Chains A and B, each alone.
Chain A
Amino acid sequence: MLSTLQQPPRSLSRIPLHLKPLRSFFTVASASASQDQSSPPSSQILTLRRALLSRQTTATQLAESYISRLSLTEPHLHSFLHISDTLLRDAQLIDRKIEKGEDVGPLAGVLVGVKDNICTADMPSTGGSRILENYKAPFDATAVRRVKEKDGILIGKTNLDEFGMGSTTEASSFQVTANPWDLSRVPGGSSGGSAAAVSARQCMVSLGSDTGGSVRQPASFCGVVGLKPTYGRVSRFGLMAYASSLDVIGCFGTSVADTGILLHVISGHDRFDATSSNREFPDFLSQFTSINLVESKPLKGLKVGLIRETLEDGVDNGVKSAISGAASHLEELGCTVTEVSLPSFSLGLPAYYILASSESSSNLSRYDGVRYGNQVFAEELNALYNDSRAKGFGPEVQMRILMGTYALSAGYYDAYYKRAQQVRTLIRKSFKDALDDNDILISPVAPSAAYKIGEKKNDPLAMYAGDIMTVNVNLAGLPALVLPCGFVEGGPVGLPVGLQMIGAAFDEAKLLKVGHIFEQTLQGCRFVPPIVADDLAYSQQ
């Protein structure tokens, strides 16, 4: 049944690095599960919780093992811009709570990476930009606060394209992150650091942000689960705004369950974000446990629409076959898969770039060097603005500010911004129609798997075109779940490819349920990158 899925070619050389296996690694996982290479991913969060509560391990031990792994992997990956210096202390606090028999939150001891455009009070928050170099926010973003309140531990701030503008993490002002599956390739972007860190098991789960695909595309490139929630599901308070009407904070994990648990913690109305919704997020985990995996058709009756426009020319054959393999798998599970057409689909890309650039030109106005961030000394006011912004912003950000300023200018507003808004309305409508007929929609996440660092750096149009599969979902404000579904040739062991599942607004629970069943029944694929494969294998012996 999975014949169309390409398995990682195990014969290829495993890792280009000589990693010394560490004994402390993954004692948790070894205690609970015997994961052979084909076993489905299990929830690291739930496993850890059981181990902590049964005193089989401590949060401190876990944190130490992650620090060890970080010290080995980080020099090759560069996923993090800052590592928390209170990590062990935070872990000890959790251990003390457990020792005392106090209640601990659902993220007790869970090591969470946070994209650096999400504000944290205890670590710098630079947004990947020189203009905010060493900037320290005086408050935690709401999502971060909620993670901490549920006893999650922040491990560090992850690398990104400057202010989220980019698809490769190459546009970071500070460093380029490598893809754990092939260090010569990009991890995707803009949340490349968060995706790479989860993929390489540098943290258990992480927060990213998704304005046009910035959680989903790196999830696909790095072979992890990425969830872009419905617009309004998660408070944006503390997320450095790129395009306010499109931005959402999203989650990465190595399993659908972990991603869902993290979303559950961070979602919900926030009085500091007027666009946050008070729609309830149902307890999706209980649905997970009730699934009878023995049942041959656990998704019987589920109507799945495969978006025709996402499988046209320009999409790699490997990606196409992975997606059709995933579609077959869904059929095996009882779904009815039909092709659906979204006629306005191709209009999404230009509309997205106009709206996102317009909003970003406004949102980034506050970085003027007057109150915070890097200021260039100048003799008069305009020079202060010009020099601070010219030196503080990278070329990609400058280009988008210029495009957005142009689109909003008098005389052009109607032709660009207003028209793009009209397209947005059309796209919303076509998604609504398609989701009235189908439970979920599926598509690839990107036209290709991870490409080489530098490959598209000088070809912004090619890079923008890569966002075609994801931007429409932001324009429509819908939730989408990306999970690894196969491999294509490339790199030492093959490159992962993700499947995008799009649901109706505020129906994340359905996506998580379908995703979980899909993931648990997908045979023969194990999405652990070579950089850590040995460690994990060793610790499980």
Chain B
Amino acid sequence: MASTLFRNIQTHPILFYPSVLFRRKNGALYCTMKSSSSSTTQTQTATLEKHQNPRTKVIDKRIKDYEAIIGIETHVQLSTLTKAFCGCPYNYGAQPNTSICPVCMGLPGALPVLNSKVIEFAVKLGLALNCKLSFNSKFDRKQYFYPDLPKGYQISQFDIPIASNGYVDLDLPVEFGGGHRRFGITRVHMEEDAGKLLHSGNGSFSQVDLNRAGVPLLEIVSEPDMRNGIEAAEYAAEIQRVVRYLGISNGNMQEGSLRCDVNVSIRPIGQSEFGTKVEIKNLNSFSSVNRAIDFEISRQVLLHSQGQGNSIVQETRLWEEGAQKTVTMRKKEGLSDYRYFPEPDLPEVILKKEYVDSIQNSLPELPEMKRRRYENMGLSMQDVLFLANDINVAKFFDATIAEGADVKLATNWIMGDIAAYMKNEKVSINDIKLVPRELAELIASIKGGTISGKIGKEILFELIEKGGTVKGLIEEKNLVQIVDHTEIEKMVDKVLSENPNQLEQYRAGKTKIQGYFAGQVMKLSKGKANPGLLNKILQQKLNASS
């Protein structure tokens, strides 16, 4: 009924393509999201290249005297079917103002009704981040005026967040020195997203797109536990892994499904009070999180060490990807007063113990648990991180193991040829046609000697691109390894008799050309001769009549 009502409404042409224009002043209408036409759902790993900013080198020495304090606010857009308080779907990249209704447009008389999935997802994340849940929480209104905020207030949670006091465990990448870290989570709360402003090319006007207005978000506030860019980027990457493992968000940074605002301050080592904190926005990838923070730390250290600590002011800075630096976006003019008060249109959020328990019991294996399990399986940390990094890779690996594949061999295949293929073709593991059962079969066929490793590799690419079964391919192409002694002997004899000159050379002492004979025999067998057996017979024959 609801959807019909709203769908009817959506056909009102005047209301749904509002081309409301206003001018902006001093570029104050900044929109945090970079619009991007890319819609790939590729995993973003924290591919953090060690960059060498010359300035960093200069003050490397001074940095040692300082410590940076970094906290992160992460907004995660939930992948619920409909928005938080109405029946509109949200599709990234849809035509502006095509997924809106009276509720998310803030029309007079419209009221919010909570989508219960938002609570479920919030509880999932709260539990996954080891938080304490508030069994009685509520929504509040955060009030400010901005054209992308249709009601003039954002429905959020203020003094009683649904989850608080948690932590997240992670392992730093081996190439950055590795090590286990635990970062505190201050709070997780539910809120709604705002719309988007589309600025005209010449900056003379802006338009409002409300498709995103009312999309549910979880805001995750970390403790100020991070000390450098890598830690911060890895924290963000771990949040992405957790939400993807939970299936509550696609966690895509380019689309803005996962957004990080970081707060950075520095203080001389030994000082207990914090320095002035600076907020950085416009971080569209984990590597920009890393680089922006490291830039900001050196900027602040440089100022501080030159006695200009006063010029570090509380402000919001913008990461400029092109210039690789942060620039002032807006100075804080005192504390903003959001005039929070309890949202009277929504009832309190009351969680029942049974409800929380049922969610707890249905939680999937989380990244940290997975990493510890892989570690216990005897895998190196590099392997562990590679496999557990992407939920889909981890699922593929787990399924392959479940089919009885050897752990180390499965790891090698996935991290080797399969990963290389995915990288070259820019596809995810879900896009390839190879299924875990066949990878297990392939590994078993090589291990059991049915096919050679070389043929295995050939089949692998066929399986990745076209699918099918290992058995079927072996049969179809008649690829079964030849292990019959007499058959190989016949082929060896044939090669030796066809190459009398080479045989003579060999017997004259040029034993290095044994490989040539082996190659000829292999060619004759179409690659199917068992290499061990072949070499053994070949050697016997070569040395026999000398």
Contacts and interface: CB of A to CB of B under 8 A. Distances in A.
Interface string B140-174: 01010101001111000000000000000000000
A380 B109 contact: no
Nearest to A140: B5
A237 B111 contact: yes
B110 interface: yes
Interface in A268-301: 271-275
Q: Which range contains the number of B residues in contact with the other chain?
A: 35 or more
A362 B15 contact: no
A273 B22 contact: no
A384 interface: yes
A381 B109 contact: no
For the complex, would chain B's binding face be called helix, strand, loop or mixed by DSSP majority? Answer: loop
Given A365-B151, A371-B150, A141 B2 contact: no
A483 to B, nearest CB: 29
A409 B339 CA distance: 5
Given A138-B12, A366-B152, A381-B22, A237 B143 contact: no
A127 B108 contact: yes
B63 interface: no
Interface string B104-141: 01111111111000000000000000000000000001
A464 interface: no
Contacts of B9: 138-139
Contacts of B337: 409-410
A384 B22 contact: yes
Contacts of A378: 22-23
Contacts of A364: 152
B289 interface: no
B23 A371 contact: no
Given A365-B153, A378-B22, A381-B24, A358 B341 contact: yes
Contact of B5 (A139, A275, A413): A139
A370 interface: yes
A270 to B, nearest CB: 9
A321 B113 CA distance: 47
A244 B344 contact: yes
A274 B114 contact: yes
Name, among A125, A137, A243, A417, the residue most crowded by chain B CB atoms within 10 Å (CB to CB). Answer: A137
Nearest to A276: B111
B345 A274 contact: yes
A359 interface: yes
B346 A371 contact: no
Contacts of B147: 368, 370, 381
B102 A271 contact: no
Contacts, number: 132
A142 to B, nearest CB: 10
Nearest to B210: A371
Contacts of A380: 22-25
A139 B107 CA distance: 10
A365 B147 CA distance: 11
B143 A118 contact: no
A299 to B, nearest CB: 36
A275 B208 CA distance: 30
B341 A366 contact: no
A137 B23 contact: no
Contacts of B347: 274-275
Contacts of B143: 362, 365, 408
B25 A381 contact: yes
Q: Which range contains the number of A residues in contact with the other chain?
A: 35 or more
A362 B22 contact: no
A119 interface: yes
A238 interface: yes
Given A244-B345, A380-B24, A381-B28, A368 B109 contact: no
B341 A119 contact: no
Nearest to B28: A381
Contacts of B150: 366, 370-371
Contact of A272 (B111, B114, B145): B111
Contacts of B29: 381
A147 interface: no
A271 B1 contact: yes
B31 to A, nearest CB: 13
Interface in B306-344: 335, 337, 339-341, 344
B18 interface: yes
A236 interface: yes
Contacts of B2: 271-272
A504 interface: no
A135 interface: yes
Nearest to A359: B344
A271 B113 contact: yes
Contacts of B153: 362, 365
A322 interface: no
Interface in A141-179: 141
A125 B108 contact: yes
A405 to B, nearest CB: 7
A351 to B, nearest CB: 15
A368 B22 contact: no
Given A359-B344, A365-B145, 17 more contacts: A138-B102, A138-B107, A238-B110, A240-B109, A271-B1, A271-B113, A272-B111, A273-B111, A364-B152, A366-B151, A366-B152, A370-B22, A370-B208, A371-B107, A375-B20, A408-B340, A413-B341
29 contacts: A119-B109, A125-B108, A137-B109, A138-B9, A138-B107, A139-B5, A241-B111, A272-B113, A273-B113, A274-B345, A274-B346, A275-B344, A358-B341, A359-B341, A359-B344, A362-B143, A366-B108, A366-B151, A367-B108, A370-B147, A370-B150, A371-B18, A371-B106, A372-B18, A372-B107, A380-B25, A381-B147, A413-B339, A413-B341
9 nearest interchain CB pairs?
Answer: A365-B152, A244-B344, A245-B344, A408-B339, A380-B25, A238-B109, A119-B109, A138-B9, A240-B108
